[in-house]
């Protein structure tokens, strides 16, 4: 029984390796043996030559060693070319599968590299991204986190959520960094009145409300403007409120009050302006009716 087991094992070993592979192994052994013998013969011949100086012999031996290495690599590639091609195809397939499986993670890493290399924003900056506004409170290799600005709007209301956004979105969406040029940003307050209303009075009241709101942080704004002017970031710095008129709607007159506002206080300043406008403009409208 033991003898039978040994014979059966010996019969199974050759079948574990296919014939082409056996031929490649045999060819590799023969090639290596011939290459070693040839290198030994040539090296011995060079060393025994008395008509060559030591420096020339050293150069020949170095060249012989390098040529032997190149021939060795070329021979292995020639002999094992089929197997290497099959292995390369398998590796490409595996790599493609890994890329498909980790596509989003790779894109997030690329987005992180993009954010870091362009200095788009950092922790503490206030940004607008993909219709979201907020302050950056965390960044990592896969995502960044915002605390959404509690800005009141007619469609959204007061928010203030913590939002985690994957870095992959940075590759296809622009980032508006509101703190890149300092702690102030130009803010627009929108007000509309009927076409038949006294638009000149409404404009004056709205502009007066803007001046009144700006007076609360006038010193802070002046220091900011002086700092930015010294850095030569702006060509012209707007320090006073200004009103633009829009007549796109045939039934109303729209006013756009633009004024510099400290970051983080836009909602408060806008509410102060709107309340002051209503306080002065609404009573006369009611009396006229």
| Digit-coded pLDDT (tens) for 231-263 | 655 555 567 889 999 888 888 999 999 888 887
pLDDT of residue 221 exceeding 70: yes
Domain ranges for the chain, please list them: 2-100, 104-177, 184-288
144 pLDDT tier (thresholds 50, 70, 90):
very high
In whole angstroms, give the CA distance from residue 115 to residue 113: 6
Residues 129, 20: Cα–Cα separation, whole Å: 60
Spell 248-274 as b/e; 16+ CB within 10 A means b.
eeeeebebebbbbbbbeebbebbebbb
Rounded Cα gap, residues 261 and 224, in angstroms: 11
Residue-averaged pLDDT of the chain: 80
What pLDDT is stored for residue 287 in this prediction?
53
Provide the b/e sequence for 122-144 (b: ≥16 CB within 10 Å).
eeebbbebeeebbbbeebeebbb
11 CB burial (10 A radius; 0-12, 13-18, 19+):
exposed
The third-level CATH classification (topology) of the domain covering 184-288 is: Alpha-Beta Plaits (3.30.70)
User: Taking the CA of residue 56 as centre, how many other CA atoms within 13 Å lie in the half-sphere pointing to its CB?
Assistant: 8
Q: What are phi and psi of 216, to 5 degrees?
A: -70, -25
Q: Band the pLDDT of 111: cuts 50, 70, 90.
A: very high
What CATH number belongs to 104-177?
A: 2.30.30.60
Inter-residue contact 148 to 132 (CB < 8 Å): yes
Overall pTM > 0.75:
no
Residues in the chain: 289
Using a 10 angstrom Cβ sphere, with 0-12 exposed, 13-18 middle and 19 or more buried, the burial of residue 105 is middle
Q: Is the pLDDT of residue 9 over 50?
A: no
Which comes out higher in pLDDT, residue 116 or 46?
A: 116
Return d(Cα 158, Cα 245) in angstroms, integer.
Answer: 27
Region of residue 264 (left: phi > 0; alpha: psi -120 to 50; beta: else): left
Residue 158 per-residue DSSP state: S
């Amino acid at each position: 029984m033991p003898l039978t087991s040994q014979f059966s094992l010996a019969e199974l070993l050759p079948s574990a390796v296919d014939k082409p592979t056996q031929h490649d192994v045999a060819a590799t052994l023969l090639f290596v043996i011939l290459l070693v013998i040839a290198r030994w013969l040539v090296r011995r011949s060079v060393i025994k030559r008395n008509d060559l100086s030591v420096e020339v012999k050293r150069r020949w031996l170095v060249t012989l060693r390098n040529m032997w290495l190149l021939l060795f690599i070329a021979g292995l590639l020639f002999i094992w070319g089929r197997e290497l091609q099959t292995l390369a195809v398998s590796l490409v397939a595996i790599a493609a599968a890994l890329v498909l499986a980790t596509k989003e993670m790779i894109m997030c890493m690329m987005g992180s590299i993009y954010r870091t290399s362009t200095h788009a924003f950092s922790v503490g900056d206030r940004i607008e991204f993909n219709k979201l506004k907020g302050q950056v409170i965390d960044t990592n290799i896969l995502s960044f986190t915002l605390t959404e600005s509690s800005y009141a709007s007619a469609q959204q209301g007061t928010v203030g959520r913590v939002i985690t956004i994957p870095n992959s979105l940075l590759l296809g969406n622009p980032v508006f960094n509101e703190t890149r040029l300092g702690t102030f940003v130009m803010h627009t307050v929108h007000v509309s009145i009927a076409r038949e209303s006294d638009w000149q009075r409404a404009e004056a009241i709205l502009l007066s409300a803007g001046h009144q709101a700006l007076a609360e942080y006038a010193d802070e704004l002046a220091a900011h403007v002086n700092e930015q002017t010294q850095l030569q970031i702006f060509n012209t710095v707007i320090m006073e409120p200004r009103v633009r008129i829009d007549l796109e709607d045939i039934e109303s007159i729209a006013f756009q009050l633009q004024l510099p506002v400290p970051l983080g206080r836009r909602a408060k300043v806008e509410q102060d302006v709107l309340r002051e406008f209503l306080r002065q403009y609404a009573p006369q409208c009611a009396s006229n009716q």
